[in-house]
Chain A
Amino acid sequence: MSFMPVILWTDALIFALLVVVLALVWFIRRHEHLRAPWKHVAQRPMAMGAALVLGVFVVIGLLDSLHYRERLADSPADAPQYSVEVLSVFDALVSGLRTRQEKTYSAPLAMQLYAKEFIQRDGETVRDHPRLKYGGAHLTHADERGPDITRRTLVGLAQGLAVSLLLFGLLAAWQARRTQVQMGAWLEAWATGALGWPGRTVVLVLTLMLLLAGVLAQLASGYHVFGTDKVGQDVLYISLKSIRTGLVIGTLTTLVTLPLAIGFGIAAGYFRGWIDDVIQYIYTVLNSIPGVLLIAAMILIVQVAIESHPELFDTAAARADIRLLALCLIMGVTSWTGLARLLRGESLKLRTLDYVEAARAFGVSHTRIISRHIFPNVFHLVLIAIVLDFSGLVLAEAVLSYVGVGVDPSMYSWGNMINGARLELAREPVVWWQLGAAFVFMFTLVLAANLFADGVRDAFDPRLGGRR
């Protein structure tokens, strides 16, 4: 085998989460009353557009979670040795971006280095910006850069448009067949927005993403689209790699929160009495400690633990991964209190309802009452909390990395990008691209998540009655 699969802790959890989500989707599809609110979500243009963008992020994150280590070329076949560098399927897909490393900073789409160096030119030594090794290396003269960029942009747009037209044609054909109408009739329904689902928005968002992907792919094959960072690595590559970190923090943290919040919240509200007192005491204590400080204190401790046991981690990636997992755990432990309080209040109300009292009178066990009557009735609150928390967690990662208690400094994350680029703003000319790229990517993910969360909340909140 020329590679060895590596399953990091977060990879395993991410795929476990994926399985759970798929099982949940399958379960919901089979139950009409569970499907109804999702139909409302699917009818909202904003929510569907956002879901598509989120989907792209998720696919990149999943591809980036399939890790492996390459076999060293000179190692013997019977006792293979593997590189210490942990790569992912995503790395393999964009290997061009990963390997084309420059010396240091260079501006977006530049063909020269940011820093001046002594270089040989026409037999004499001059101090100037040297040419990049890869960025614009196919050009012979600086004058060709403008036309070349324009040409590549147009080609990229054309390719994106071609693919989206093809997809649109397939979609129209499939949908027309499924609903058994003429293609023309379907197109007319699509154009007037009479499909029953936001077809126009979906097609528009997909087309925009494909156009963007086309342009990026065309430009990235010859240039560094977002420039390079301090050690000369392509900023586009770093930004894309950071997607996984953001997603892991946004989802796994919630995964930690859920059992704590659901268990404690429902138990406190349902059983009342001393259980309620103890649980309330626990969450008041946790809540009263300022969140950042608690996270900082716990991360410092984890750091000490990791540093005193270097033998447990065979690669740097495994060590960074444990720290990421620890961060998720810690953020989960410090952030379950809000949801628990909400669930407690709701369970307090539910336990006095007639059908719960009736169940108790029949001698139904507590576990059965909770799982059959209480939990299904608070589940919408849990779901709303999951989607609402996600964007906050992604933003929190950047702040925590700035404080120095975020993910491992060697890990690709938007927080680390911002942190590294912040000090370079004082330079002349300004190194803005690293910061800009991190903010743009983070903004896109968080905005999509927020818009989707709004759609979900509006559909599930019983006070709005699934409309508005």
Chain B
Amino acid sequence: MGAYILRRLLYAIPILIGVNLLTFALFFVVNTPDDMARLQLGAKHVTPEAIERWKVEHGYDKPLLLNAEAKGSEQFTDTIFFKHSAAMFVFEFGKGDDGRDIGNEIRTRMGPSLAIALPVLVIGLMVNITFALLMVFFRATYLDLWGVVLCVVLMSISGLFYIIAGQYFIAKLWNLLPISGFAGGIDGFRFILLPVLVSVVAGIGSGARWYRTIFLEEIGRDYVRTARAKGLSEVRVLFRHVLKNGMIPILTGVVVVLPLLFMGSLITESFFGIPGLGSYTIDAIQAQDFAVVRAMVFLGSFLYIIGLILTDISYSWVDPRVRLQ
């Protein structure tokens, strides 16, 4: 087991290097620092001096890969690649355009993101499984048919609609919950409620439908027939056998997104004014803050790769048929 995890970890390194090189190419080679400066300064103030000054301020005034003027190892370290891209491997993200340390921002913003994303995941999972089990229990009846149609209808509604409708009706018209905002501690509960509710409802359509197909696949298996032949009631078959085995694909699907919960959701956070990483990212994209976008790309990939490793481990853990090779 230990050797397996180690090998998986080693496999993650080339992928992270690939991500790093790709972002480096996108942000510095295809799109040179001069272009960035021009975009940031706007059309009016573009003079060669202003561009130079902007590059010095942001530390983009060095050669890309190889600094011929420097001596010894500084030839490689005193470059944009080393200072801005390679440094991300030790989570040195530098500063955003607003002058704040990106690493610091990430640490303080992870909490609020998690406060929304974790309840959404857990409650969403429970709600979706409940609906899916209900549809499976009434399978091949009109209840099941219309349940699926309802799922398709829910899936076809834009996620933005759920948020806007929730904010408008629940918060503005009926004054039940605050429209947006965030607070720490117990006080924050009422702020979290609406975004969580909206996100869960928005996810029901696709979630319940997908879980229904998983359960239906299980229900056609031999062991289910055996369980019924033993004389177990349908409810017992569903909960003791189908649910348990159906949870394997569901949970392993969840594991891969677990680390990504830290990143939060772009849209939800920005609509509800949650000071998490999602709204941080969206602000950076809108302000065209390349340093922050680059840092978030790297962080997101890092978390995704952790998720992949966790998935592999959890597979071998819940399903003994998968051997660690």
* Physical interaction between A and B: yes
Asked if A290 is an interface residue, CB under 8 A from chain B, the answer is: yes
| Complex contact B266–A304 (CB within 8 A) | no
Counted as pairs of residues, one from A and one from B, with CB atoms less than 8 Å apart, the total is 122
| Complex contact B152–A450 (CB within 8 A) | yes
Bound state CA distance, A307 and B296, in angstroms? 25
Residue of B nearest to A439 (CB): B161
| Complex contact B164–A297 (CB within 8 A) | no
Interface residues of chain A: helix, strand, loop or mixed (majority):
helix
| Residue in contact with B285 in the complex, picked from A395, A398, A404, A447, CB distance below 8 Å | A404
Residues of A within 8 A of B23 (CB): 289, 297
B171-207 contacts to A, CB under 8 A, are 172
| Complex contact B305–A288 (CB within 8 A) | yes
| B-contact 0/1 string along A430-468, CB 8 Å cutoff | 100001000100110011001100100000000000000
Binds B, one of A136-144, A195-203, A279-287, A347-355: A279-287
Asked if A301 is an interface residue, CB under 8 A from chain B, the answer is: yes
Residues of A within 8 A of B152 (CB): 447, 450-451, 454
Asked if B297 is an interface residue, CB under 8 A from chain A, the answer is: yes
Asked if B39 is an interface residue, CB under 8 A from chain A, the answer is: yes
Asked if A422 is an interface residue, CB under 8 A from chain B, the answer is: yes
Residue of B nearest to A451 (CB): B152
Asked if A308 is an interface residue, CB under 8 A from chain B, the answer is: yes
| B-contact 0/1 string along A303-330, CB 8 Å cutoff | 1110110000000000000000000000
Q: How many residues belonging to B are interface residues under a CB distance threshold of 8 Å?
A: 46
Residues of A within 8 A of B19 (CB): 285, 288-289
| Complex contact A307–B39 (CB within 8 A) | yes
Q: How many residues belonging to A are interface residues under a CB distance threshold of 8 Å?
A: 43
Closest chain-B Cβ to A421's Cβ sits at a distance in Å of 9
Residues of A within 8 A of B168 (CB): 425, 430
| Residue in contact with A287 in the complex, picked from B35, B39, B285, B304, CB distance below 8 Å | B304
Closest chain-B Cβ to A322's Cβ sits at a distance in Å of 16
Asked if B55 is an interface residue, CB under 8 A from chain A, the answer is: no
Closest chain-B Cβ to A101's Cβ sits at a distance in Å of 26
| Complex contact A285–B158 (CB within 8 A) | no
Residues of B within 8 A of A378 (CB): none
Bound state CA distance, A235 and B97, in angstroms? 38
| Complex contact A300–B290 (CB within 8 A) | yes
Q: Assuming A289-B300, A399-B159, is B15 touching A284 (CB within 8 A)?
A: yes
| Complex contact B288–A300 (CB within 8 A) | yes
| Residue in contact with A398 in the complex, picked from B31, B39, B158, CB distance below 8 Å | B158
| Complex contact A290–B300 (CB within 8 A) | yes
Beyond A281-B14, A450-B152, 15 additional pairs, beta carbon < 8 A:
A281-B15, A284-B308, A285-B15, A288-B300, A288-B304, A288-B305, A290-B263, A290-B304, A301-B31, A304-B36, A398-B158, A399-B267, A418-B158, A446-B156, A446-B157
